[in-house]
Amino acid sequence: MVPSHTIVTRDEWLEARKAHLAREKEFTRLRDRLSAERRALPWVKVDKRYVFERAEGTATLADLFNGRRQLIVYHFMFGPGWEEGCPSCSFLADHIDGADQIEAFKKRMGWRFTWVSSHGRRRAA
């Protein structure tokens, strides 16, 4: 069922639309300020030794950077014993051009990017 709305003249609609646009612009400016504040937050040094499994063997978090300044990390849900990965995660991975179990799925899906897994790993001392 379509909700009922007030019917107005074009001039009344334009006045209401301009008022709404002013609030949208105010929201955009606030979001921009909040985003700038977030980017300016101080950083925390990562001094824990995180270890991951990949097809080539184990790798630390630092190894994953492979000399680059930035690293994209995404938690892909693919549980032990699952036949397939999470549909939403798979959809995301399909649009970006590990462990033994995930290698077959990765190959089937045609993904070429590097996979690592933290499943079953404990943080090294």
**117 — pLDDT class (breaks 50, 70, 90):** confident
Query: Residue 76 in contact with residue 86, Cβ under 8 Å?
Result: yes
Write out pLDDT tens, residues 54-112: 888 999 999 999 899 888 888 899 988 999 999 999 888 887 764 466 778 888 888 88
Query: Residue 124 in contact with residue 49, Cβ under 8 Å?
Result: yes
Give the other-Cβ count within 10 Å of 59's Cβ: 17
Give the alpha-carbon dihedral of 44, 46, 48, 50, to 10 degrees.
130
Q: Name which of 65, 103, 106 is nearest 89 in CA terms.
A: 106
Query: Residue 71 in contact with residue 65, Cβ under 8 Å?
Result: yes
